[in-house]
Amino acid sequence: MLKERKMGKKVTVVGAGFVGATCARRIIEKDLADVVLIDIIEGLPQGRALDLMESAPIEGYSAQIIGTNDYKDTKNSDIVVVTAGIARKPGMSRDDLLQINAKIIKDVVENIAKFSPNAILIMVTNPLDVMSYLAYKTTKFKSSKVIGMAGVLDSARYRFFIAQALGVTPSLVNAFVLGGHGDSMVPLPRYSTVNGIPITQLLDIKKINQINERTKNGGAEIVGLLKTGSAYYAPSASVVEMVKSILLNENRILPCCVFLKGEYGLKDIYCGIPVRLSKNGVEEIIKIDLTKEELESLKNSSEAVKKNIKKLNI
């Protein structure tokens, strides 16, 4: 078990694969919280946790991490990051993972609800929008405490591609990508800026459309290059940005996959939109003005998610 520190924050990361292990590393290296890394494979989380702790004297962090195969060790977590599941392989879509990962996620979140009933869930497993909905329905947590990660990741990819096109530092770019985490996601050039200047004034429409398409296929591009795995550096960084906003009560406005109750004309669905993240999870759903075309694209994206939810008979 973890020894209690003054910080008192505890984050569980479910899944000790590349995404999960990298999430755990980023969290403890930033001294955000103590971490429990859990996986069904005996020895894997324990080995990775020990390896990370042995680097603490060099890196200088004081956060602790343990690896385990027992959900009892995750008890009373403040946040649980769920990365468990099968990763995409070349030629697979996120939706191809639906039935396989649904079984895994249902078991995972049932255990989380049992041992950490007050936790905030951050879902990472694909297809992310559907897995977020499944987790919400299974745990019966408040919808404000079950949040999907994808919007931060999709927007980060968008920001990088914009920065690359303009030859500027990526951190100078702000951008939003809304909708489902898939081919129907909705990049918003009007809300994407470089030092406050909209990219619509810096790039021609042809280049913007090219960047939009590359963003939509950002994950598939990496899967195609790796051949035997999928992205984990950018996804883990995206998770930790959300974790930080929650643990430090930063109230940051980030695009996240959340449960909608009529906002943007969408109901009983998980979809990516801007929200304010605080210690309570989703503190506020931000309503931004969308054009008729943008709103239609967002609705079309949500319809693709609904089709997959129906396949699970939740």
Q: Which residues are catalytically annotated?
A: 181
CA gap 52, 65 in Å, rounded:
8
Asked if 28 contacts 61 with a C-beta cutoff of 8 angstroms, the reply is yes
Cα distance between residue 99 and residue 92, in whole Å: 13
- CB atoms under 10 Å from CB of 210, counted, come to 14
- Half-sphere exposure for 305 (CA within 13 Å, toward CB): 32
Q: Which amino acid makes up residue 266? A: L
The 10 Å CB-count burial string (b at 16+, else e) for 253-269 is: bbbbbbbbeeebebeeb
